[in-house]
Amino acid sequence: MPLKKEDYLVLFCDGKRYLVSLKEGFFHTHKGVIKLSELEGKEYGDCVFSSKGEKFHLLKPTLFDFLMKLRRETQIIYPKDIGFILVKLGISEGMKVLECGCGSGALTTALAFFVGEKGKVFSYEKEEKFIEVARENLKRLNLEGRVIFKHKEVLETFEEEEVDALFLDVKEPWKLIPGAYQSLKGGHPLGVLVPTTNQVSMVLKALEEYPFVDIEVLEILLRPYKTNPERLRPEDTMIAHTGYLIFAKKVLEK
Ligand SMILES: C[S@@+](CC[C@H](N)C(=O)[O-])C[C@H]1O[C@@H](n2cnc3c(N)ncnc32)[C@H](O)[C@@H]1O
């Protein structure tokens, strides 16, 4: 399919990925300049040469590229954690999902992507400026219609009931466990992300007070490898810590 003006693409050169839109005018790097409007009519998989004669491949962006390149005004949840969160919460077409702590909207974007056109994401955020950032990030994927933002500092409860899954990414999630219990459907999953172990303990103590079962605490370590087949080995550095994940399921009685 020929590329159109409204399309995004990844310009790939020397192991580096650059997410661009054809509407952006010019793309500048130390490897030269590319006039993006001239890519209209080309196809994903084609290549183009910059003003310095460097070859760039035109790749189709995946959700990963959008998440890594979204505008960030807060700490975000990274794709390695998002992938696991999505499968643990069983996010799928048509689901009604609630999150608290929308921040820059990384998780919101992934939730909106997977609930599909018939699903809804209810996203609570106390800072209006972050809602605007998240909205802008969602627009790049035409997903803003799937999210209902609630500009509110949640102190106890949420307005929604019978949600299929609920995720908390706030500083003091233990305070919202009773509200999360109230909003979730029976047997359905709760997820929480916190950066420190003392916060994990606080969440576990709060979960003990309510009928939650199947409680898990884990973290996800991603170790990328250098791709030279003759010298296959891990990269020298890695991101050692993002956050701890806690999952539990609501039951009607313990
Ligand atoms: C780390 S950020 C969330 C990042 C987001 N999950 C992402 O992937 O981009 C945490 C957000 O929670 C918001 N927040 C903290 N406590 C809150 C509360 N009680 N109610 C609503 N929002 C809250 C903060 O303003 C902040 O934007």
Which residues have CB under 6 Å of ligand 1? 74-77, 100-101, 103-107, 124-127, 130, 153-154, 169-171
Look at ligand 1, atom 3, and give the residue with the nearest C-alpha: 103
Residue 27's domain spans which residues?
A: 8-61
Atom of ligand 1 minimally distant from the CA of 82:
8
Give the confidence band of 75 by pLDDT, cuts at 50, 70, 90: very high
Angle in degrees, CA 237, 29, 15, rounded to 5: 40
The H-or-E segment that residue 96 falls in is strand 96-100
Alpha-carbon gap, residue 51 to 2, rounded angstroms: 23
Please return the burial class of 226, using the count of CB atoms within 10 Å of its CB with bins 0-12, 13-18 and 19+: exposed
Q: Do 236 and 177 fall within a single domain?
A: yes
Q: Does the pLDDT of residue 19 top 90, yes or no?
A: yes
Atom of ligand 1 minimally distant from the CA of 134:
9
Across 85-105, b (16+ Cβ under 10 Å) vs e yields bbebbebeeebbbbbbbbbbb
Mean pLDDT, residues 242-253 taken together: 97
The total of structural domains in the chain comes to: 2
Tell me, yes or no, whether 2 lies in a domain.
no
Residue in 151, 35, 43, 164 with CA at minimum distance from that of residue 101 = 151
187-197 tens-digit pLDDT? 999 999 999 99
Tell me, yes or no, whether 244 lies in a domain.
yes
Look at ligand 1, atom 14, and give the residue with the nearest C-alpha: 101
Q: Do 155 and 208 fall within a single domain?
A: yes
Distance 229 CA to ligand 1 centre (A): 42
Q: CA 116 → CA 34, 213, 249, distances in Å?
A: 34, 29, 23
Give, rounded to a whole angstrom, the gap between the first and last alpha carbons of the chain.
55
Does the model's pTM come out above 0.85?
Answer: yes
Domain boundary among the residues 61, 81, 101 is at 61
Q: Do 81 and 126 fall within a single domain?
A: yes
